[in-house]
């Protein structure tokens, strides 16, 4: 090759490299003119974001980011609106939530008479003898906060079995026909970890069943066929409107496959960390199913187990009896040694565990179990979680950081349960309830969610609860319930985004808006940092962006 030809080829080579590099630096999407909260403490606010191949290419000023705009770049001018990392709900029951959008829901209903009217109306829509299912009733809203009975339902539904799940999901209210079909009588003993509530005078079941006893209900009659994928699709549409780009959800191996299939078909509009029931641990080990197995869209999550119930149902596991039921101190779901062994087995085999624990004794048992497992098999970096962690004794607070245990909490549980918490456990113990600020000050990691459909999926309700600690429906107390536990807006958003990402071992790829991370973002109608707290509840989502693609746009 002569010198002239060599120079021409060299020039062409450099030209192609220059064109290639220039092209590589052009963004597929650019978000401009925003107040963009990054959840990165070192660079909390920027004006603009550039996105390429589903990830953040750069963040910074408008002038800096405009340089990444090419002929094919989608430019989204948000006109000064607040942009945050996409919200990640760290604890929900997604498919169940989707199904709840089509069933009888009694949230906020404050009288038995109204529930009777709704049940009677539903019966007219269904075939003769068809079972009636409902959810989210709250007896503490009824006059006198008294538990309802089967007779209340019998009045309007003598020929249809009725099963209504309490708002916390840990007890059910049924009619006489449902009890009869389930073969539950005065002689039926309560199972371990559950209670068939019986009339103290007659010994007859009242129609309330708690915890493990709810599994005894088996009703008959013609039913509408339910489709799990339809439930998920319905939930996806709902979540996209609320700015949610990730969920940690109750699941199964079969449900995980549905999420994978939907992703392959381009139907998945958020990222899934699906937790599995610990009861099938031997199957997971035999099949080689690993923690975090999957991709950026669908991953295997923690193994879930329960140690107690709830405050609302009076089944949370406490050191001291309930103030309003001094003969009861909760219903453990395992004998203590059996529980420790199960946690150890999961830990030994490399699984993160997430334990439902609400009462102070329940939380204590979980911390003990984790400590025991770590002493025998090492810490392993498994980031075990306590789901709810609602009541905590002072001596257990520091153990969260020491053991690396995440407090996976739902802020709206605080502002819902505050209506009856002090009645149930007294004012002194209530000081240890929903102690977000105290946990943070002692080095714990928080991850926020909703427990949908126990609470609504809207994260704005959680943010409001964090910064006000006021009941949403009744707007009290004025200064907040134990206001020393309030969080700032920045903290509330951070633990709804980066905290949740940390809880799924994904803080390196999402949860904050930084170069190299997934381009999951939410654009809001109002600036949460500037508005009055009450306005948080009416703040809407304008855009939900997943991997640089708009999956929801408010019309």
Q: Are residues 492 and 36 in contact, defined by beta-carbon separation less than 8 angstroms?
A: no
User: What pLDDT does 223 receive?
Assistant: 75
User: What pLDDT does 330 receive?
Assistant: 97
Q: Are residues 28 and 73 in contact, defined by beta-carbon separation less than 8 angstroms?
A: yes
> Coil, strand, or helix at residue 21?
helix
pTM of model > 0.75: yes
Question: In the block, which residue shows the tokens 């709250």?
Answer: 138
Question: In the block, which residue shows the tokens 């439902």?
Answer: 356
> Which CATH code is given to the segment(s) 127-216?
3.10.310.70
The strand ranges marked E within 93-139 are 104-105, 132-137
d(CA 234, CA 95): 8
Q: Are residues 105 and 240 in contact, defined by beta-carbon separation less than 8 angstroms?
A: no
d(CA 151, CA 253): 40
> Coil, strand, or helix at residue 46?
strand
Give the Cβ contact number of residue 14 at 10 Å: 10
Alpha helices for 136-175 (secondary structure H): 150-154
User: What pLDDT does 5 receive?
Assistant: 52
Q: Report residue 197: phi and psi, to 5°.
A: -70, 130
pLDDT tens-place string over residues 476-516: 999 999 999 999 999 999 999 999 999 999 999 999 999 99
The topology (CATH level 3) of 88-93+227-553 is TIM Barrel (3.20.20)
| Cβ partners under 8 Å of residue 158, min gap 6 | 175, 176, 177
d(CA 302, CA 319): 27
d(CA 538, CA 532): 11
Nearest to 495 by CA among 393, 407, 381: 407
Q: Token digits for 400? A: 């969260």
User: What pLDDT does 452 receive?
Assistant: 97
- Give me the residue spans of the domains in the chain: 3-80, 88-93+227-553, 127-216
Q: Are residues 489 and 554 in contact, defined by beta-carbon separation less than 8 angstroms?
A: no
Which portions of the chain are predicted below pLDDT 70? 1-24
User: What pLDDT does 8 receive?
Assistant: 45
Architecture, CATH, for domain 3-80:
Roll (2.30)
Q: Are residues 47 and 60 in contact, defined by beta-carbon separation less than 8 angstroms?
A: yes
Q: Token digits for 271? A: 């990222």
């Amino acid at each position: 090759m002569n010198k002239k030809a060599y120079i021409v080829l060299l020039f062409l080579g450099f030209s192609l490299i220059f064109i290639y590099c220039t092209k590589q630096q052009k963004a597929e999407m650019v978000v401009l003119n925003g107040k963009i909260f990054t959840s990165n403490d070192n660079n909390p606010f920027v004006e603009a974001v550039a996105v390429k191949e589903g990830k953040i290419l750069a963040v910074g000023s408008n002038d800096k980011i405009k340089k990444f705009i090419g002929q094919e770049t989608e430019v989204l001018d948000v006109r000064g609106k607040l942009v945050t990392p996409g919200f990640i709900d760290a604890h929900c029951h997604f498919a169940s939530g989707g199904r709840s959008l089509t069933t009888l829901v009694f949230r906020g209903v404050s009288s038995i008479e109204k529930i009777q009217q709704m049940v009677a109306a539903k019966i007219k829509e269904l075939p003769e003898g068809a079972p009636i299912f409902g959810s989210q009733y709250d007896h503490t809203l009824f006059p006198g906060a008294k538990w309802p009975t089967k007779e209340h339902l019998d009045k309007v539904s003598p020929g249809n079995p009725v099963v209504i799940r309490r708002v916390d999901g840990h007890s059910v209210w049924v009619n006489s026909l449902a009890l009869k079909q389930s073969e539950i009588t005065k002689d039926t003993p309560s199972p371990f970890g559950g209670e068939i509530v019986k009339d103290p005078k007659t010994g007859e079941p009242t129609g309330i069943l708690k915890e493990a006893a709810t599994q005894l209900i088996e009703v008959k009659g013609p039913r509408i066929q339910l489709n799990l994928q339809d439930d998920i699709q319905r939930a996806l549409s709902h979540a996209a409107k609320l700015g949610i780009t990730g969920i940690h959800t109750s699941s199964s191996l079969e449900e995980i496959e549905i999420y994978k299939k939907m992703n392959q078909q381009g139907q998945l509009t958020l990222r899934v960390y699906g937790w599995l029931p610990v009861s099938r641990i031997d199957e997971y080990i035999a099949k080689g199913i690993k923690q975090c197995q999957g991709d950026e869209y669908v991953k295997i999550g923690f193994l879930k187990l329960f140690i107690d119930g709830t405050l609302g149902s009076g089944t949370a596991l406490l050191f001291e009896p309930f103030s309003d039921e001094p003969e009861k101190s909760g219903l453990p779901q395992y004998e203590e040694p059996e529980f420790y062994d199960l946690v150890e087995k999961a830990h030994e085999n490399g699984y993160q565990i997430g334990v439902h624990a609400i009462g102070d004794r329940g939380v204590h048992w979980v911390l003990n179990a984790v400590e025991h497992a770590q002493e025998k098999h090492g810490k392993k970096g498994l980031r075990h979680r306590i789901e709810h962690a609602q009541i905590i004794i002072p001596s257990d607070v520091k153990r969260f950081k020491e053991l690396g245990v995440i407090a996976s909490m739902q802020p709206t549980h605080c502002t819902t349960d505050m209506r009856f918490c002090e009645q149930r456990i007294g004012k002194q113990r209530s000081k240890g309830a929903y102690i977000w600020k105290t946990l943070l000050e002692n080095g714990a990691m928080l991850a926020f969610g909703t427990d949908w459909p126990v609470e609504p999926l809207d994260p704005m309700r959680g943010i409001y609860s964090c910064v006000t600690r006021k009941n949403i429906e009744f707007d009290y107390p004025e200064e907040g319930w134990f206001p020393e536990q309030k969080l700032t807006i920045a903290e509330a958003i951070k633990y709804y985004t980066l905290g949740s990402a940390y809880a799924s071992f994904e803080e390196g790829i999402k949860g904050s808006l930084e170069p190299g991370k997934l381009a999951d973002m939410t654009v809001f109608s109002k600036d949460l940092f500037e508005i009055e707290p009450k306005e948080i509840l009416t703040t809407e989502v304008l855009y939900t962006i997943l991997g640089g693609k708009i999956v929801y746009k408010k019309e």
